[in-house]
Amino acid sequence: MANQKYWIWLTTRNGLAGQQLMEVYRHFGSPERAYFADEGEYRLIGGMTEPVLRSLCEKSLTGADRILGDCDRLGIQILTMQDALYPERLAAIHQPPLVLYWKGRQIAFDEEAAIAVVGTRGATPYGIRTATQLAMDLVSGGAMIVSGIAQGIDTAAIRGALQAGGTVVSVLAGGIDVIYPRENRRLFEDVAAAGALISENPPGTEPKGGLFPIRNRIISGLSVGVVAVESPKFGGTLRTVAHALDQNREVFAVPGPWDAPASEGPNRLIQEGAAKLILSAQDVLCEFTDRFPRRLGKAPALSDEERSQRLEGARQVREQNPAAAGKRPARAKKEVDIQPGLAYIDWKDCREKLTDDQQNVLQLLTAGTMTTDELVERTQLPARRVLSALTILQVEGYVREENGKRFSLAVRLKME
Protein backbone atom coordinates (compact mmCIF):
# COMPACT_ATOMS: atom_id res chain seq x y z
CA MET A 1 0.00 0.00 0.00
CA ALA A 2 1.60 3.20 -1.25
CA ASN A 3 0.51 5.41 1.64
CA GLN A 4 1.43 3.04 4.49
CA LYS A 5 4.18 5.43 5.53
CA TYR A 6 1.58 8.08 6.39
CA TRP A 7 -0.34 5.65 8.60
CA ILE A 8 2.87 4.81 10.42
CA TRP A 9 3.82 8.49 10.70
CA LEU A 10 0.46 9.37 12.27
CA THR A 11 0.39 6.48 14.75
CA THR A 12 3.93 7.15 15.96
CA ARG A 13 3.46 10.84 16.90
CA ASN A 14 4.72 11.42 20.44
CA GLY A 15 1.87 11.92 22.89
CA LEU A 16 -0.84 11.27 20.31
CA ALA A 17 -2.88 8.23 21.31
CA GLY A 18 -6.30 6.95 22.25
CA GLN A 19 -9.30 9.17 21.62
CA GLN A 20 -7.20 12.14 20.49
CA LEU A 21 -5.53 10.05 17.80
CA MET A 22 -8.99 9.00 16.55
CA GLU A 23 -10.12 12.62 16.53
CA VAL A 24 -7.17 13.61 14.33
CA TYR A 25 -7.84 10.74 11.97
CA ARG A 26 -11.56 11.47 11.70
CA HIS A 27 -11.01 15.21 11.35
CA PHE A 28 -8.81 14.82 8.29
CA GLY A 29 -10.30 11.60 6.93
CA SER A 30 -6.91 10.06 6.14
CA PRO A 31 -3.36 10.01 7.55
CA GLU A 32 -2.05 11.52 4.31
CA ARG A 33 -4.27 14.60 4.67
CA ALA A 34 -3.22 14.86 8.32
CA TYR A 35 0.43 14.75 7.27
CA PHE A 36 0.09 17.62 4.79
CA ALA A 37 -1.94 19.81 7.19
CA ASP A 38 -0.36 22.78 8.95
CA GLU A 39 -0.32 23.88 12.56
CA GLY A 40 -3.36 26.10 12.13
CA GLU A 41 -5.45 23.14 10.96
CA TYR A 42 -4.22 21.01 13.87
CA ARG A 43 -5.28 23.71 16.32
CA LEU A 44 -8.86 23.40 15.09
CA ILE A 45 -8.99 20.07 16.92
CA GLY A 46 -9.78 20.65 20.59
CA GLY A 47 -7.49 19.63 23.43
CA MET A 48 -4.22 19.67 21.49
CA THR A 49 -1.20 20.12 23.76
CA GLU A 50 1.94 21.90 22.60
CA PRO A 51 4.07 18.70 22.59
CA VAL A 52 1.50 16.93 20.39
CA LEU A 53 1.31 19.92 18.04
CA ARG A 54 5.11 19.95 17.73
CA SER A 55 5.09 16.24 16.97
CA LEU A 56 2.44 16.68 14.25
CA CYS A 57 4.42 19.53 12.73
CA GLU A 58 7.49 17.27 12.49
CA LYS A 59 7.18 16.00 8.91
CA SER A 60 10.19 13.70 8.69
CA LEU A 61 9.29 10.25 7.35
CA THR A 62 12.61 8.71 8.36
CA GLY A 63 11.04 6.84 11.27
CA ALA A 64 8.23 5.51 9.11
CA ASP A 65 10.67 4.35 6.43
CA ARG A 66 12.74 2.58 9.09
CA ILE A 67 9.67 0.75 10.39
CA LEU A 68 8.69 -0.25 6.84
CA GLY A 69 12.20 -1.62 6.34
CA ASP A 70 12.07 -3.54 9.62
CA CYS A 71 8.72 -5.08 8.67
CA ASP A 72 10.04 -6.14 5.28
CA ARG A 73 13.13 -7.69 6.86
CA LEU A 74 11.16 -9.51 9.58
CA GLY A 75 8.30 -10.69 7.37
CA ILE A 76 5.73 -8.55 9.18
CA GLN A 77 2.64 -7.38 7.29
CA ILE A 78 1.02 -4.00 7.89
CA LEU A 79 -2.75 -3.75 7.97
CA THR A 80 -4.54 -0.39 8.10
CA MET A 81 -8.17 0.45 8.74
CA GLN A 82 -8.67 1.03 5.02
CA ASP A 83 -7.54 -2.47 4.04
CA ALA A 84 -10.17 -5.03 3.05
CA LEU A 85 -8.76 -7.62 5.46
CA TYR A 86 -9.14 -5.31 8.48
CA PRO A 87 -11.83 -6.97 10.67
CA GLU A 88 -15.13 -5.09 10.69
CA ARG A 89 -15.82 -6.24 14.23
CA LEU A 90 -12.58 -4.57 15.35
CA ALA A 91 -13.23 -1.40 13.38
CA ALA A 92 -16.55 -1.02 15.24
CA ILE A 93 -15.05 -0.82 18.75
CA HIS A 94 -14.29 2.32 20.71
CA GLN A 95 -10.83 3.52 19.64
CA PRO A 96 -9.89 0.79 17.16
CA PRO A 97 -6.19 0.53 16.27
CA LEU A 98 -5.49 2.45 13.06
CA VAL A 99 -2.62 0.11 12.18
CA LEU A 100 -2.02 -3.57 12.92
CA TYR A 101 1.34 -5.29 12.55
CA TRP A 102 0.76 -8.90 11.59
CA LYS A 103 2.91 -12.00 11.27
CA GLY A 104 1.53 -15.36 10.19
CA ARG A 105 -1.53 -16.44 8.30
CA GLN A 106 -4.10 -14.04 6.91
CA ILE A 107 -7.32 -14.57 8.85
CA ALA A 108 -10.81 -13.41 7.90
CA PHE A 109 -11.86 -12.67 11.46
CA ASP A 110 -15.41 -11.69 10.60
CA GLU A 111 -16.03 -15.24 9.38
CA GLU A 112 -14.49 -16.90 12.44
CA ALA A 113 -16.02 -17.85 15.78
CA ALA A 114 -13.08 -16.31 17.63
CA ILE A 115 -13.15 -16.95 21.38
CA ALA A 116 -10.73 -15.16 23.69
CA VAL A 117 -9.47 -17.25 26.61
CA VAL A 118 -7.91 -15.01 29.23
CA GLY A 119 -6.68 -15.24 32.79
CA THR A 120 -4.00 -14.57 35.33
CA ARG A 121 -0.27 -15.17 34.96
CA GLY A 122 -0.24 -16.71 38.42
CA ALA A 123 -2.52 -19.57 37.46
CA THR A 124 -3.13 -22.59 39.68
CA PRO A 125 -2.89 -26.20 38.47
CA TYR A 126 -6.71 -26.15 38.25
CA GLY A 127 -6.58 -23.07 36.01
CA ILE A 128 -3.83 -24.49 33.78
CA ARG A 129 -5.71 -27.76 33.35
CA THR A 130 -9.02 -26.02 32.69
CA ALA A 131 -7.64 -23.51 30.18
CA THR A 132 -5.81 -26.24 28.26
CA GLN A 133 -8.82 -28.54 28.04
CA LEU A 134 -11.21 -25.69 27.29
CA ALA A 135 -9.09 -24.43 24.38
CA MET A 136 -8.72 -27.94 22.98
CA ASP A 137 -12.46 -28.53 23.10
CA LEU A 138 -13.30 -25.12 21.64
CA VAL A 139 -10.98 -25.75 18.71
CA SER A 140 -12.35 -29.25 18.24
CA GLY A 141 -15.81 -27.68 18.05
CA GLY A 142 -14.74 -25.30 15.27
CA ALA A 143 -13.78 -22.14 17.17
CA MET A 144 -10.58 -20.12 16.91
CA ILE A 145 -8.63 -19.09 20.03
CA VAL A 146 -7.50 -15.53 20.75
CA SER A 147 -5.33 -14.67 23.73
CA GLY A 148 -2.21 -12.86 24.86
CA ILE A 149 0.94 -14.91 25.23
CA ALA A 150 1.84 -14.38 28.87
CA GLN A 151 2.65 -17.15 31.32
CA GLY A 152 -0.21 -18.91 33.05
CA ILE A 153 -3.67 -19.05 31.47
CA ASP A 154 -2.59 -17.49 28.14
CA THR A 155 0.15 -20.05 27.61
CA ALA A 156 -2.07 -22.96 28.65
CA ALA A 157 -4.86 -21.91 26.28
CA ILE A 158 -2.49 -21.45 23.36
CA ARG A 159 -0.84 -24.82 23.91
CA GLY A 160 -4.20 -26.54 24.22
CA ALA A 161 -5.40 -25.02 20.95
CA LEU A 162 -2.18 -25.92 19.15
CA GLN A 163 -2.33 -29.49 20.44
CA ALA A 164 -5.83 -29.76 18.98
CA GLY A 165 -4.58 -28.53 15.62
CA GLY A 166 -6.40 -25.23 15.80
CA THR A 167 -5.82 -21.68 14.67
CA VAL A 168 -4.46 -19.40 17.37
CA VAL A 169 -4.04 -15.63 17.44
CA SER A 170 -1.92 -13.88 20.07
CA VAL A 171 -2.28 -10.13 20.51
CA LEU A 172 0.94 -8.62 21.82
CA ALA A 173 1.56 -5.52 23.89
CA GLY A 174 4.99 -4.89 22.36
CA GLY A 175 6.50 -5.31 18.93
CA ILE A 176 6.12 -8.67 17.20
CA ASP A 177 9.90 -9.09 17.14
CA VAL A 178 10.22 -8.60 20.91
CA ILE A 179 9.79 -11.97 22.63
CA TYR A 180 8.04 -11.58 25.99
CA PRO A 181 8.21 -13.58 28.12
CA ARG A 182 11.52 -14.92 26.80
CA GLU A 183 10.77 -18.51 27.74
CA ASN A 184 7.88 -18.46 25.24
CA ARG A 185 10.14 -17.99 22.20
CA ARG A 186 9.18 -21.38 20.79
CA LEU A 187 5.52 -20.61 21.41
CA PHE A 188 5.82 -17.36 19.40
CA GLU A 189 7.09 -19.41 16.46
CA ASP A 190 4.31 -21.99 16.81
CA VAL A 191 1.58 -19.34 16.89
CA ALA A 192 2.97 -17.56 13.83
CA ALA A 193 2.99 -20.90 11.98
CA ALA A 194 -0.51 -22.02 13.03
CA GLY A 195 -2.20 -18.62 13.18
CA ALA A 196 -0.99 -15.07 13.69
CA LEU A 197 0.86 -12.69 15.98
CA ILE A 198 -0.74 -9.25 16.03
CA SER A 199 0.23 -5.91 17.59
CA GLU A 200 -0.68 -2.27 17.13
CA ASN A 201 2.90 -1.33 18.01
CA PRO A 202 5.75 -1.31 15.48
CA PRO A 203 8.74 -3.67 15.62
CA GLY A 204 11.18 -2.93 18.40
CA THR A 205 8.53 -1.70 20.87
CA GLU A 206 9.29 -2.97 24.37
CA PRO A 207 6.17 -4.37 26.13
CA LYS A 208 6.01 -1.85 28.95
CA GLY A 209 3.35 -2.20 31.62
CA GLY A 210 1.06 0.55 30.33
CA LEU A 211 0.70 -1.14 26.94
CA PHE A 212 -0.96 -4.28 28.29
CA PRO A 213 -4.31 -2.79 29.40
CA ILE A 214 -4.49 -0.85 26.11
CA ARG A 215 -3.81 -4.09 24.19
CA ASN A 216 -6.69 -5.87 25.91
CA ARG A 217 -9.36 -3.97 23.95
CA ILE A 218 -7.99 -5.63 20.78
CA ILE A 219 -8.20 -9.14 22.26
CA SER A 220 -11.91 -8.67 22.99
CA GLY A 221 -12.49 -6.64 19.83
CA LEU A 222 -11.28 -9.46 17.57
CA SER A 223 -13.47 -11.98 19.39
CA VAL A 224 -17.17 -12.75 19.57
CA GLY A 225 -16.86 -14.07 23.12
CA VAL A 226 -14.45 -13.87 26.05
CA VAL A 227 -13.88 -16.59 28.66
CA ALA A 228 -12.30 -15.66 32.00
CA VAL A 229 -10.66 -18.74 33.51
CA GLU A 230 -8.82 -17.43 36.57
CA SER A 231 -8.26 -13.90 37.81
CA PRO A 232 -7.91 -12.01 41.08
CA LYS A 233 -10.49 -9.40 41.96
CA PHE A 234 -8.72 -6.76 39.87
CA GLY A 235 -6.29 -7.02 37.00
CA GLY A 236 -5.80 -7.31 33.27
CA THR A 237 -8.32 -10.12 32.85
CA LEU A 238 -11.16 -8.03 34.23
CA ARG A 239 -10.08 -5.11 32.05
CA THR A 240 -10.48 -7.38 29.04
CA VAL A 241 -13.89 -8.47 30.32
CA ALA A 242 -14.91 -4.83 30.80
CA HIS A 243 -13.89 -4.06 27.21
CA ALA A 244 -15.88 -7.10 26.04
CA LEU A 245 -19.01 -5.94 27.84
CA ASP A 246 -18.56 -2.44 26.43
CA GLN A 247 -18.18 -3.94 22.94
CA ASN A 248 -21.31 -6.06 23.40
CA ARG A 249 -19.40 -9.34 23.31
CA GLU A 250 -20.58 -12.46 25.12
CA VAL A 251 -18.74 -13.02 28.39
CA PHE A 252 -18.25 -16.36 30.12
CA ALA A 253 -16.50 -17.35 33.33
CA VAL A 254 -15.17 -20.60 34.76
CA PRO A 255 -16.23 -21.02 38.41
CA GLY A 256 -13.64 -21.93 41.00
CA PRO A 257 -13.35 -22.67 44.73
CA TRP A 258 -15.08 -19.93 46.72
CA ASP A 259 -11.97 -19.29 48.85
CA ALA A 260 -9.41 -19.37 46.00
CA PRO A 261 -7.88 -15.92 45.29
CA ALA A 262 -7.29 -16.91 41.65
CA SER A 263 -11.02 -17.57 41.16
CA GLU A 264 -12.27 -14.44 42.87
CA GLY A 265 -12.58 -12.51 39.61
CA PRO A 266 -14.59 -15.10 37.62
CA ASN A 267 -16.75 -15.96 40.63
CA ARG A 268 -17.58 -12.29 41.13
CA LEU A 269 -18.46 -11.87 37.44
CA ILE A 270 -20.87 -14.78 37.70
CA GLN A 271 -22.36 -13.49 40.95
CA GLU A 272 -22.99 -10.04 39.48
CA GLY A 273 -24.52 -11.41 36.28
CA ALA A 274 -21.77 -9.95 34.09
CA ALA A 275 -20.69 -13.40 32.84
CA LYS A 276 -22.36 -16.71 32.08
CA LEU A 277 -21.16 -19.65 34.15
CA ILE A 278 -19.71 -22.42 31.98
CA LEU A 279 -18.85 -26.01 32.79
CA SER A 280 -17.62 -27.07 29.36
CA ALA A 281 -16.65 -25.71 25.96
CA GLN A 282 -20.09 -26.66 24.67
CA ASP A 283 -21.61 -24.05 26.99
CA VAL A 284 -19.69 -21.47 24.95
CA LEU A 285 -20.12 -22.97 21.48
CA CYS A 286 -23.89 -23.31 21.77
CA GLU A 287 -24.19 -19.50 21.99
CA PHE A 288 -22.72 -19.08 18.49
CA THR A 289 -23.91 -22.12 16.53
CA ASP A 290 -26.68 -20.20 14.75
CA ARG A 291 -24.30 -17.36 13.90
CA PHE A 292 -21.53 -19.63 12.55
CA PRO A 293 -23.32 -22.77 11.32
CA ARG A 294 -20.53 -23.66 8.90
CA ARG A 295 -17.82 -23.31 11.52
CA LEU A 296 -19.30 -24.80 14.66
CA GLY A 297 -20.84 -28.11 15.56
CA LYS A 298 -19.38 -30.18 12.72
CA ALA A 299 -16.10 -31.32 14.20
CA PRO A 300 -16.44 -34.41 16.44
CA ALA A 301 -15.63 -33.93 20.09
CA LEU A 302 -12.38 -35.41 21.38
CA SER A 303 -12.64 -38.77 23.05
CA ASP A 304 -11.48 -39.12 26.65
CA GLU A 305 -8.42 -41.04 25.43
CA GLU A 306 -7.50 -38.37 22.86
CA ARG A 307 -7.96 -35.63 25.42
CA SER A 308 -5.77 -37.44 27.95
CA GLN A 309 -3.02 -37.92 25.40
CA ARG A 310 -3.05 -34.30 24.37
CA LEU A 311 -3.29 -32.98 27.90
CA GLU A 312 -0.14 -34.94 28.66
CA GLY A 313 1.67 -32.47 26.42
CA ALA A 314 0.56 -29.62 28.68
CA ARG A 315 2.66 -30.96 31.56
CA GLN A 316 5.54 -28.73 30.55
CA VAL A 317 3.28 -25.71 31.02
CA ARG A 318 2.57 -26.68 34.62
CA GLU A 319 6.27 -27.30 35.21
CA GLN A 320 7.07 -23.77 34.04
CA ASN A 321 4.41 -22.24 36.29
CA PRO A 322 5.34 -21.75 39.97
CA ALA A 323 1.79 -22.46 41.05
CA ALA A 324 1.95 -25.88 39.44
CA ALA A 325 4.70 -26.96 41.82
CA GLY A 326 2.20 -26.97 44.63
CA LYS A 327 2.70 -23.39 45.73
CA ARG A 328 -0.56 -21.75 46.63
CA PRO A 329 -0.84 -18.18 45.29
CA ALA A 330 -0.40 -15.61 47.99
CA ARG A 331 -3.67 -14.18 49.19
CA ALA A 332 -4.30 -10.63 48.23
CA LYS A 333 -3.72 -8.12 50.97
CA LYS A 334 -6.82 -7.22 52.85
CA GLU A 335 -8.33 -4.06 51.46
CA VAL A 336 -8.65 -1.10 53.75
CA ASP A 337 -11.32 1.51 53.52
CA ILE A 338 -10.38 4.69 51.75
CA GLN A 339 -9.81 7.43 54.26
CA PRO A 340 -12.00 10.53 54.30
CA GLY A 341 -9.48 12.67 52.43
CA LEU A 342 -10.37 11.59 48.89
CA ALA A 343 -8.20 12.65 45.98
CA TYR A 344 -9.44 15.35 43.62
CA ILE A 345 -9.86 14.30 39.99
CA ASP A 346 -10.41 16.89 37.28
CA TRP A 347 -13.56 16.11 35.28
CA LYS A 348 -11.78 17.27 32.14
CA ASP A 349 -9.34 14.37 32.54
CA CYS A 350 -12.25 11.95 32.99
CA ARG A 351 -13.82 13.06 29.72
CA GLU A 352 -10.57 12.36 27.89
CA LYS A 353 -9.96 8.93 29.43
CA LEU A 354 -13.44 7.45 29.95
CA THR A 355 -16.17 6.29 27.60
CA ASP A 356 -19.59 7.93 27.56
CA ASP A 357 -21.07 5.08 29.64
CA GLN A 358 -18.34 5.40 32.25
CA GLN A 359 -18.81 9.16 32.42
CA ASN A 360 -22.59 8.77 32.87
CA VAL A 361 -22.16 6.32 35.75
CA LEU A 362 -19.49 8.47 37.39
CA GLN A 363 -21.65 11.59 37.22
CA LEU A 364 -24.63 9.80 38.75
CA LEU A 365 -22.54 8.60 41.67
CA THR A 366 -21.72 12.19 42.57
CA ALA A 367 -25.27 12.26 44.00
CA GLY A 368 -24.48 9.42 46.42
CA THR A 369 -24.20 5.65 46.77
CA MET A 370 -26.30 3.58 44.36
CA THR A 371 -26.98 -0.04 43.45
CA THR A 372 -26.51 -1.47 39.97
CA ASP A 373 -30.29 -1.53 39.45
CA GLU A 374 -30.54 2.15 40.36
CA LEU A 375 -27.77 3.02 37.92
CA VAL A 376 -29.45 0.99 35.15
CA GLU A 377 -32.75 2.77 35.78
CA ARG A 378 -31.23 6.25 35.82
CA THR A 379 -28.88 5.83 32.86
CA GLN A 380 -31.40 3.84 30.79
CA LEU A 381 -28.47 1.71 29.66
CA PRO A 382 -28.46 -2.09 29.38
CA ALA A 383 -27.28 -3.79 32.56
CA ARG A 384 -24.27 -5.27 30.74
CA ARG A 385 -23.01 -1.81 29.82
CA VAL A 386 -23.48 -0.48 33.34
CA LEU A 387 -21.60 -3.48 34.77
CA SER A 388 -18.83 -2.91 32.23
CA ALA A 389 -18.55 0.75 33.21
CA LEU A 390 -18.48 -0.10 36.92
CA THR A 391 -15.76 -2.70 36.42
CA ILE A 392 -13.46 -0.27 34.61
CA LEU A 393 -14.20 2.53 37.10
CA GLN A 394 -13.29 0.22 39.99
CA VAL A 395 -10.11 -0.95 38.28
CA GLU A 396 -9.09 2.66 37.61
CA GLY A 397 -9.81 3.66 41.21
CA TYR A 398 -12.71 6.04 40.55
CA VAL A 399 -15.38 3.89 42.25
CA ARG A 400 -15.51 1.45 45.14
CA GLU A 401 -18.05 -1.20 46.12
CA GLU A 402 -19.76 -0.89 49.48
CA ASN A 403 -21.65 -3.51 51.47
CA GLY A 404 -24.86 -4.70 49.88
CA LYS A 405 -23.48 -4.33 46.34
CA ARG A 406 -23.76 -0.58 46.42
CA PHE A 407 -21.28 1.65 44.67
CA SER A 408 -19.83 5.02 45.63
CA LEU A 409 -17.14 7.41 44.45
CA ALA A 410 -13.59 6.72 45.60
CA VAL A 411 -12.51 10.19 44.47
CA ARG A 412 -13.81 13.73 44.51
CA LEU A 413 -14.61 15.21 41.12
CA LYS A 414 -13.60 18.73 40.29
CA MET A 415 -16.29 19.77 37.84
CA GLU A 416 -15.82 22.50 35.25
* Long-range CB contacts (within 8 A, 24+) of 401-408: 402/369, 404/371, 405/272, 405/371, 405/372, 406/369, 406/370, 406/371, 407/365, 407/369, 407/370, 407/371, 407/372, 407/375, 408/365, 408/368, 408/369, 408/370
- Residue 84: the pLDDT is 92
> Residue 28 is part of a domain; what is its CATH number?
1.10.150
Strands 370-371 vs 406-409: parallel, antiparallel or unpaired: antiparallel
In a domain, 92, yes or no: no
Tell whether 46 is covered by a domain. yes
Please check whether residues 269 and 200 belong to one and the same domain: yes
On the question of pLDDT at 332 being above 80, the answer is no
Structural domain ending residue among the three candidates 258, 290, 325: 325
Mean pLDDT over 327-341 rounds to 39
**What is the reported pLDDT for 304?**
56
273 vs 307, more confident: 273
Distance of alpha carbon 323 from the chain centroid: 24
Residues 124 and 263 in one domain: yes
Could you tell me if 63 and 29 lie in one domain?
yes
Residues 223 and 293 in one domain: yes
Q: What is the pLDDT of residue 337?
A: 36
Does residue 365 lie in a domain region?
Answer: yes
68 — pLDDT class (breaks 50, 70, 90):
very high
Residue 249, in any domain of the structure? yes
CATH number of the domain encompassing residue 120: 3.40.50.450
Lowest mean pLDDT among 43-52, 187-196, 387-396: 387-396
Tell me which H or E stretch contains 258. Answer: none
* 205 and 245 both lie in a single domain: yes
- Asked, for residue 89, whether it belongs to a domain, the answer is no
pLDDT at 2: 54
pLDDT above 50 (res 278) = yes
Domain that holds residue 206: 104-325
Final residue of a structural domain among 29, 54, 72? 72
Q: Are 256 and 267 in contact (CB under 8 A)?
A: yes
Per-residue CA distances from 245 to 112, 274, 281, 313, 393 (Å)? 19, 8, 20, 34, 13
Within this chain, do residues 163 and 42 fall inside the same structural domain, yes or no? no
Q: Which residue has the higher pLDDT, 62 or 233?
A: 62
The DSSP output letter for 184 is: G
The band of 391, judged by pLDDT with boundaries at 50, 70 and 90, is confident
Same domain, 241 and 270: yes
- Given 291, 325, 359, the domain boundary residue is 325
Residues 283 and 358 in one domain: no
- Contact between residue 355 and residue 362 where contact means Cβ atoms under 8 Å apart: no
Q: Is residue 42 part of a domain?
A: yes
Of 91-105, 210-224, 284-298, least confident by mean pLDDT is 284-298
The Cα 126–Cα 120 span in angstroms is 12
Q: 184 and 154 in contact (C-beta within 8 Å)?
A: no
Q: Are residues 60 and 130 in the same domain?
A: no
**What CATH number does residue 392 fall under?**
1.10.10.10
More confident: 334 or 371: 371
357 and 316 in one domain? no
Domain presence at residue 336: no
* Confidence at 358, pLDDT banded by 50, 70, 90: confident
Considering the domain architecture, whether residues 65 and 182 belong to the same structural domain is answered as: no
54 has pLDDT over 70: yes
Residue 148 and residue 285 in one domain: yes
Domains: count for the chain: 3
Answer yes or no: is 334 within a domain: no
